[in-house]
Chains A and B, each alone.
Chain A
Amino acid sequence: MSEPIVKYNNVTKYFDDLMVLDGIDFEIQPGEKVALVGPSGSGKTTFARLLMTLEEITDGTIEVEGDYLWHEEDSNGELKPASTEHLRKVRSNIGMVFQHFHLFPHMTVLENIIEAPVTVKGIDKKEAIKDGKEMLEKVGLSDKADTYPAQLSGGQKQRVAIARALVMKPKVLIFDEPTSALDPELVGEVLDVIKDIANQGETSMLLITHEMDFAREVADRIAFFDAGKIVEDGPPSEILYNPQAPRLKEFLERFMSTQASPE
């Protein structure tokens, strides 16, 4: 088996006195698509934000391709907090798509997409534009290149956000409930784009979602979160059709009943 691309080692996270993640061990293999499911407040977002370095780790370590994310080894081989340079270097492997898109409102769609390649990676602008346009085509928004985000639908915004993350060529891409802020009729177009990327790619994915059908289709593995712990972790068939943990069974039952109710 190859080396995992992401490895959580006994990761704990507190917000003041509140323990949100309780000593989690977790791995993602290169190219693997992992869905995180679980009740609201169980720590999924925090778990992902630690990897994106949007929250600071309280205890434990996270490795990305064998490099510590939050730490650096000093000359004696002891772990110390990572320097900004180190953090940025390791972070460059990770990308994220947010529930609320967070597009740059003062830039056009194409500008949104080429901004980081040009500013952060120093890629030649012409080349970035070429890549950006290709990526826009992939997410089906070629005609929106010169539009400002305010004039897009939620589904279009999220597709731009996905394109913006992808042009940075992250090895791991995090999606935190990418369709939760969308009107129901716009969910499909975004999920389709994510499926496309999943099918094409060697990109590893961490997908936080409430869309169980989507998780089953896209994910190689589903991890069930409850109260700051991963209670069960396995292939979709096991997790969805043969759940073991009582909390997971309960979660799935409640889920099925709310899904069936509109009929």
Chain B
Amino acid sequence: MSFWDLIVSLLGQGLVITLLTTVLAAILALVLGFIAGLMRLSKNKLVRFLVSIYVEVFRGTSLLVQLFWIYFVLPMFGITMTALTAAVLAIGLNFGAYTSEVVRSGIQSVDKGQIEASIALNFTKVQRMKRIIIPQAFIIMLPNLGNQLIELFKSTSLVALITLTDLTYQANVLNATTLQTTQIFTALLVIYFVIAWPMTKGMKLLERKMTEGRM
């Protein structure tokens, strides 16, 4: 097969799964990250403690092991799921833990004067968070969130190891049948890069759009 044919073949079979995993896991990570990040700022010690357990466990162990655990071990406790669900869950939980730190520090780095102005204007705490603090924190977080999205995208190659037929999985299959190892994995490299690069650019663009004239 020509190099071009290899790329087309890989894309045709694996691209959708890789992108689907990326998007779903990123959404889950963002939601979990915000919830956990806000809970880490709670006044309630127990809440903070429980969240810190989640964060430390998922940051302190490898994503691959988490993936295996969710896909291969949970069924032994009667919890079975598809490879896609397991992949999204593992990656979402893992990146959610990191994102919660980004969210927490983003919120904490909003100028304290903003809280004071909100109190002086008689906002409730929830109104203050929603209207004043989080919108500003989000802008502060964007570069970090962008980096995490790229990391998350690249980490989806691990899902091949739980039989999910993503780009990497297809490359392995193709390699076994054609033995064009150099071309196949070079093609794979190129594909990941060509997807990641516009993602990076897109995040930069979004950052600029959101800060334009404001910060």
Flag the segment in B37-45, B64-72, B127-135, B142-150 that touches A.
Answer: B127-135
Given A116-B121, A116-B122, do A98 and B113 touch, yes or no (CB 8 Å)?
yes
Residues of B contacting A168 with CB < 8 Å?
Answer: 121-122
Q: For the complex, what is the distance from the CA of A53 to the CA of B125, rounded to whole Å?
A: 14
Inter-chain contact B122/A104, CB cutoff 8 Å: no
Flag the segment in A87-95, A191-199, A242-250, A254-262 that touches B.
Answer: A87-95
Q: For the complex, what is the distance from the CA of A74 to the CA of B205, rounded to whole Å?
A: 56
Residues of A contacting B215 with CB < 8 Å?
Answer: 105, 150
Does A130 sit at the interface, judged by CB under 8 A?
A: no
Inter-chain contact A102/B122, CB cutoff 8 Å: no
Does A86 sit at the interface, judged by CB under 8 A?
A: no
Does B56 sit at the interface, judged by CB under 8 A?
A: no
| Contact bitstring A75-102, B, C-beta under 8 A = 1, else 0 | 0000000000000100110111010101
Given A102-B114, A106-B136, do A53 and B214 touch, yes or no (CB 8 Å)?
no
Count contacts on A: residues with CB < 8 A to the other chain: 27
Does B116 sit at the interface, judged by CB under 8 A?
A: yes
- Give, as a whole number of angstroms, the nearest-CB distance from A166 to chain B: 11
Q: For the complex, what is the distance from the CA of A52 to the CA of B117, rounded to whole Å?
A: 10
Inter-chain contact B213/A96, CB cutoff 8 Å: no
Identify which of residues 144-171 in chain A touch chain B, using a CB-to-CB cut-off of 8 Å.
148-151, 164-165, 168
Inter-chain contact A120/B122, CB cutoff 8 Å: yes
Does B124 sit at the interface, judged by CB under 8 A?
A: yes
| Least CB separation from A118: chain B residue | B131
Residues of A contacting B132 with CB < 8 Å?
Answer: 104
Given A100-B113, A104-B114, A105-B136, do A52 and B119 touch, yes or no (CB 8 Å)?
yes
- Give, as a whole number of angstroms, the nearest-CB distance from B125 to chain A: 8
Residues of A contacting B121 with CB < 8 Å?
Answer: 95, 115-116, 120, 164-165, 168
Residues of A contacting B127 with CB < 8 Å?
Answer: 119-120
Tell me if B's interface is mostly helix, strand, loop or mixed: helix
Inter-chain contact B136/A54, CB cutoff 8 Å: no
Given A98-B113, A100-B113, do A106 and B214 touch, yes or no (CB 8 Å)?
yes
Most buried by A among B114, B122, B127: B122
- Give, as a whole number of angstroms, the nearest-CB distance from A25 to chain B: 24
Count contacts on B: residues with CB < 8 A to the other chain: 20
Q: For the complex, what is the distance from the CA of A92 to the CA of B113, rounded to whole Å?
A: 19
Inter-chain contact A102/B111, CB cutoff 8 Å: yes
Q: For the complex, what is the distance from the CA of A120 to the CA of B127, rounded to whole Å?
A: 8
| Least CB separation from B210: chain A residue | A106
Does B31 sit at the interface, judged by CB under 8 A?
A: no
Inter-chain contact A88/B124, CB cutoff 8 Å: yes
Q: For the complex, what is the distance from the CA of A14 to the CA of B213, rounded to whole Å?
A: 41
Does B123 sit at the interface, judged by CB under 8 A?
A: yes
Inter-chain contact A119/B111, CB cutoff 8 Å: no
Residues of B contacting A94 with CB < 8 Å?
Answer: 120
Inter-chain contact A119/B123, CB cutoff 8 Å: yes
Most buried by A among B127, B132, B214, B215: B214
Q: For the complex, what is the distance from the CA of A13 to the CA of B120, rounded to whole Å?
A: 20
Residues of A contacting B135 with CB < 8 Å?
Answer: 106
Most buried by B among A88, A91, A120, A164: A120
Q: For the complex, what is the distance from the CA of A53 to the CA of B136, rounded to whole Å?
A: 23
Contact sample, A vs B, 19 pairs, CB 8 Å cutoff:
A54-B116, A54-B119, A91-B122, A94-B120, A98-B116, A98-B117, A102-B111, A102-B114, A102-B116, A105-B136, A105-B215, A106-B139, A116-B123, A119-B123, A120-B122, A120-B127, A164-B121, A165-B120, A165-B121
- A95-B120, A116-B123, A148-B213 known; 15 new pairs, CB 8 Å cut-off, are A52-B119, A54-B119, A91-B119, A91-B122, A92-B122, A98-B113, A98-B117, A98-B120, A103-B117, A104-B114, A119-B123, A120-B127, A150-B215, A165-B120, A165-B121
4 closest cross-chain pairs (CB), A and B: A102-B117, A102-B113, A116-B121, A96-B120
